[in-house]
Structure 1
C-alpha cells in the first residue's frame, strides 16, 4: 500500500491504493463531503414517522468537524471522552453528541455510514421509547434539537477495538447533543418551529443561523453603549470588523475572563428563542443559539 497527499486549491484529500482500487478520503473542507453529510442527515430528519413538529434543519459547523477530525486521528473505536465536559470542545455547546462508524475503505461514503446509523430505526419504538438492540445512533440522527453537525473521516492502519485494518473511521459530532427521552415531538411538520423559521422539507429552517457566535469589535464599547442596545436599531455584518459589535451569546465564563473590560449582564426575556442583536452599523437580523440559555451580553 502506498499513501500520497493530494492537494488542490480547495481541498486536501488522502488518496490511497487499496488493492487495485484507488480510494480518496475527503478532508473536512471538501464541499461534496460537507453536502453529503448535511443532505443525508436532513433527508432522514425530514422523513421521520410519525411526523415531527419541531425538527430543526441541520447545517454544517466547522468547529464540530475539527472536533471529529481530532478524535478520529486516534483510530480508536470509542467515543470522545470530553463530549460532556462543559464547553470543553465547542464555545456554543455545553455538551456534544457523537456517532461513530468504522469499515473498509471501499465501503465508505458519508451517506452509507449515516444510513447505517439510521437503519437502527428497526430496533426503536418511538412512542414507548423501547430499544431492542442498539438505537443511539438513530436517535441522534433524528434528534430534533440538534441543528449543527460536523463530520470527519480518517484512514487508520488499525482501528483499535475492531478487527479492521487499513480502514476508514468516520465520526459526526452534533450540537447540541441528545439526552434521554423522545428524539422529537410528534405532530404536524413544522407546527412547533421557533418563531420566524421557515418550513423546508418538513424541517424548521433558518439559514442565517450562525455557526459560532463570537464577539468581534475594533473599538472598546462603553457601559453606556451596552445599556443603549435596547434602543438601538442599527446593526452591522458580523463577518466584518470595521464596526463595533455587541453579540448575545452563552459563551462560558473562562472566555469572559480574557476580556479587558467587565462583562455586563442584562435581563433577556424568555423563551430565549428569537432576538435581534444590536450592532452599530447596517440593519441586520441575527439569531440566538437554539435551546441554549442566553446568559449575558458582553463586549470587548
Structure 2
C-alpha cells in the first residue's frame, strides 16, 4: 500500500523507504521530483483506529452509494479538523465539491498511481491540493482517510515533522485551515501491483512550505469567525485566492489600489471579514 504526497513547490522530498527486509521494495530513482512515496505494510490493520477521532467504519463502500460516500468523507474530514491539538481559531468547515470530485475521479480513472500534475488540479482558477492512496485490496473511505491521518503521529504543531525522513504532508493537507472544498474519486486498476487508486482533491491547496509547521492559527475554536461557527469550524470562507504568498505584506505596503496588489491579491483585498 502506498501514499504519494504533493509538495507546495517543486522541492523534492526524501525517497528512502524504511521497510521490513522481506517486504522491501526499491524506489525508482527517476521518480517525479514533485512526488514522494511511503511504502507501508500491505495490511495496516494493526494501526487502524489508533488515536483516530472518528469511529472506525468496517463496511466497504466502493462506491455503491455516492451520497453515502460523500457524507462519510465529509464527516471524517471535519471531525479530524475539529479535533486538532492545539485547537484552531480559523479552521474552515469542509464542504463537498462536485467539480473537485469530478477532477479527482478523472485522475483516478487514468490509473496513473501517483500525484497528478499541478496544472491538472486547477479548478475555476484555484489550484487544489491532493492526497492519493494505492492499495492492493479494496478499502473503505474511512480506511483511506485513516492512512493519511496516521501521519499525525509524526507531526507537532509549531515544529512540523518530528524526525527526519518522515512525511506529514497528507495529514497537514487534511487540516489545512482554508482548504475547505473536497472531492474524491476511486478506481479499480487491474493491471498493476496496487489495484485500487484513491484520490481526494482539496481547494484551495494547502501545504505552503512557509507554513507547514502551522497549518492553522491556534487559539479558541472559531475565534477568527465570530457568528460563523459550526461546532468549532468556521463557515465563512473567502471565495477568492491570492496568487502570491506575501499578499498581506503587499497590502500593508502598497494598498489594494495598486494594480499589482489588486490583480494578484484578490482574497486579501476583497475578503475583510472572511477566512482567507
TM-score over 0.5 for the pair? yes
Shift, 1:158, TM fit: 3.1
Task: For 1:169-208, list aligned pairs within 5 A.
Answer: 169-178=197-206, 179-180=208-209, 181=211, 182-193=214-225, 196-197=227-228, 199-206=229-236
Deviation above 3 Å: which 4+ runs of structure 1?
268-271
Structure with higher Rg: it is 1
RMSD: 3.3
Task: Give the Cα–Cα distance (whole angstroms) in 1 for the partners of residues 61 and 189 of structure 2.
Answer: 13
SS at match of 1:158: coil
CA drift at 1:77 = 2.1
The TM-score, its normalising length taken from structure 1, stands at 0.57
Structure whose residues are more often strand by fraction: 1
**May I ask how many residue pairs the two structures share in their alignment?**
193
Counterpart residue number, 1:76: 112
Q: Label 1:126 to 1:70 Cα distance change in 2 as closer, same or farther (>3 A).
A: same
Structure 1 gaps of 5+ residues are 1-22, 214-248, 253-264, 276-287, 292-300
The Cα offsets for residues 138-194 of structure 1, whole Å up to 9 and x where unpaired, read as 0000000101000001111034xxx32xx221100000001121211111111012x
1:88-144 deviation digits (Å, cap 9, x = unpaired) = 631141x110000121344x1111111110110111121212343110000000000
User: Which structure 2 residues correspond to residues 41-120 of structure 1 after superposition, within 5 A?
Assistant: 41-81=77-117, 83=118, 85=119, 89-93=122-126, 95-106=127-138, 108-120=139-151
TM-score scaled by structure 2?
0.61
Query: What residue number does 2:18 align with?
Result: none
Alpha-carbon distance in structure 1 between the residues aligned to 2:124 and 2:191: 32
The unaligned stretches of length 5 or more in structure 2 are: 1-59, 244-261
Indicate conservation of the 8 Å contact 2:185/2:200, yes or no: yes
From the superposition, tell whether residues 154 and 88 of structure 1 become closer, same or farther in structure 2 (CA, over 3 Å): closer
